[in-house]
A and B are shown apart, each in its own frame.
Chain A
């Protein structure tokens, strides 16, 4: 997030895209409600009529995967109404003319046809967003999990830059992160092309710094992305995997392919707190400690680094992730010794400029520090890009609408989206162990519009077969107006109905994120 979560409360216009905030980020949703209570206007871009969408002043219920077309339409409306922030565009951005020329060539009728949204609605939304002094964009996986995910995000960034809604408090572009520490994992270089703090492995200076600190030679070439590993990439098959706290068998697309990859490995080692579906395929399972058993930090969506303290020692023979990595390193011949996690944090501060001033003792008695925090005296950074963007000037990248990887056809006439529900978390490795959460929800439900259900003669609660070109599962039908006619929605929490058997492995060329949000499917009655 470029903003802090609390800034949302005081925004005047909230544009929420591809996010079922109420269920996936209740703490953010609460601030959105508070903002609306104070008179803010809420615009929701979502194919589904989520709880938040039903409370929105404007709900733009686009067809899945048509964000770019919609955003181009909105930006065109802003140019037509002369609502662009000319000074900001002039001073802080570059490549504006390429965007402008593209927008002036735009066929507005086609935008309406592609998105399925009335032109007046998106124009109204654009004016609301552009006119307010404090407008914020929150987006989530509905924007990123497309083959054009990177361009989708860029389109939202274009909108914010065009109207000067960045670099200020209460104005920004906020991706809502899913896990408690997914931001921290990215910050620490759990990405194929960067060292901690987003320092590229291809940068000789960064490489030299880490080589000197760690006393090893480091590769200059980025590693493989997740889907390259599970679905095969250009560099031949992977032979061994060490998977920490992840359950790719259920969470990655096209499940049967993932299973095949896992089964063909020379060795699979999984460290997890429970025996997940992936761990069941492993040659070696290392029992890991839970959050309550370790001391360290988590970094949340607003870049806030917070302490977590062990409440109890690790149970039975389990060990913390750090202990596992250290023990493995030592046995593999690399000497690694730390007195405490605070000492690891010191190394992070030493080598990672954005974490340069973050130490355990500073976090002890506080609610944490928001990076960038360059030295001990630095108070942290509530919102990003004040005075200038990280790269210098904000770069407009005009983008055209791109059709999803798979379209509906006669054989598979329905469009399936996947996502999450309130009571379960990802593949349920943890939440499905909880009797209380299972009582709330213990079964996958396929959301289907009443019109489609009628045509298929499917009753509410009836079990149906859901199939795509890649596979089929059985699950319960839930008839609801939340999804539009022709669309389906379900979740990936349930191993009994593993939806990723059906999803496509096509992915965004930049982020390598698969298109979980669109695949062609059909529903059949069970006989």
Chain B
């Protein structure tokens, strides 16, 4: 069994302050408008950490920026010259990641560090230490228990924190996490048996606190067997407002587009930007033909990808149950509504 530690809450800031001396630290911070977002911490005393609220966006943009320069070019007598930008990727500790967001990073790893290794993503990911916080107070739209990506994680983290009231139970999953403890060992004490028992109790209770009961398995089965009626896709497409918000906010949506921007007569840059498969232009061919009829199928590919294709490829759906798309969707056609719809059909 891995070693479990106790970090008193009083010691959190002093420990983080020491970690911050050798690492960039990113954590959920409440900003001046009252919104909680993952942000780089510049001085622990100047910010308000928020470990209870769900950050409004996932940590996706730290690994896959909304817009990224892939290279710059210059035209000269000898033709094109290309330069890859030297983007520094400092060693970063991501502290207080929600379980869903950490699970999502494990998924994007598969996309960008699988057979083909994306240089930018790899730079940012290899220097990252992931510290999650177990959620024993799920948020209204959360359903990570149904996608098996929370609320408590069993693997994937470097460190996992569990809030036990006056103290955190800290589990080390990987050596990188272990190092952060051994380096400042005096802050940590070994966990007692009752601490571990308390964590189990919290994990059990957390599963009962979810307000949404989402039958992901049913949707996975129906999609695999092609049992989703055409009328459902059509109805979803009717209501989709074509804003792309679900994909931008989704921690596991990785679709991007490539764009060349001319910056002057002789130089420019190639950009990689987030994209969304729900948009019409995403699949339109150069000649104007579109293999996906948006009017009927705007959301079909998105849901199929999450709940069918990734299950087929990786053995599990790529929805991590964070519920953010539920809150952002203007059309009311989020993935939870879709899954509920499919499982309701089976009711007598």
Contacts and interface: CB of A to CB of B under 8 A. Distances in A.
A and B part of one assembly: yes
A34 interface: yes
Contacts of A436: 257, 273, 275, 279
Nearest to B260: A435
A55 B257 CA distance: 33
Nearest to A52: B238
Contact of A439 (B33, B261, B281): B281
Interface residues of A, number: 15
Interface in B208-246: 238-239, 241-242
A237 interface: no
A27 interface: yes
B119 interface: no
B81 interface: no
A79 to B, nearest CB: 37
Interface string B252-267: 0000010101000000
B259 A34 contact: no
Contacts of B33: 309
B288 interface: yes
Contacts of A435: 259, 261, 273
A440 interface: yes
A153 B280 CA distance: 36
Given A27-B330, A440-B279, A33 B288 contact: no
B331 interface: yes
Contact of A422 (B238, B242, B257, B275): B242
A30 B330 contact: yes
Interface residues of B, number: 18
B241 A30 contact: yes
A33 B239 contact: yes
A461 interface: yes
Contact of B257 (A34, A439, A461): A439
B268 interface: no
Interface centre among A27, A30, A34, A51 (most CB of B within 10 A): A30
Contacts of A51: 238, 295
A422 B298 CA distance: 15
Interface string B41-70: 000000000000000000000000000000
B330 A26 contact: yes
Contacts of B279: 436, 439-440
A375 B102 CA distance: 50
B86 to A, nearest CB: 25
B196 to A, nearest CB: 43
A436 B282 CA distance: 10
A480 to B, nearest CB: 12
B31 to A, nearest CB: 10
B90 interface: no
Interface in A86-122: none
Contacts of A440: 279-281
Contact of B239 (A30, A422, A439): A30
Contacts of B295: 51
Contacts of B238: 33, 51, 55
Contacts of B241: 26-27, 30
A1 to B, nearest CB: 19
Contacts of B242: 26, 422
A466 B330 CA distance: 37
A440 B244 CA distance: 12
B156 interface: no
A51 B241 CA distance: 12
Interface string A50-61: 010001000000
8 contacts: A27-B330, A30-B239, A33-B239, A51-B295, A436-B257, A436-B279, A439-B281, A440-B280
Given A30-B239, A435-B273, A441-B281, 11 more contacts: A26-B241, A26-B242, A26-B331, A27-B241, A33-B238, A51-B238, A51-B295, A435-B259, A436-B275, A439-B257, A439-B279
Interface of B: 33, 238-239, 241-242, 257, 259, 261, 273, 275, 279-281, 288, 295, 330-332
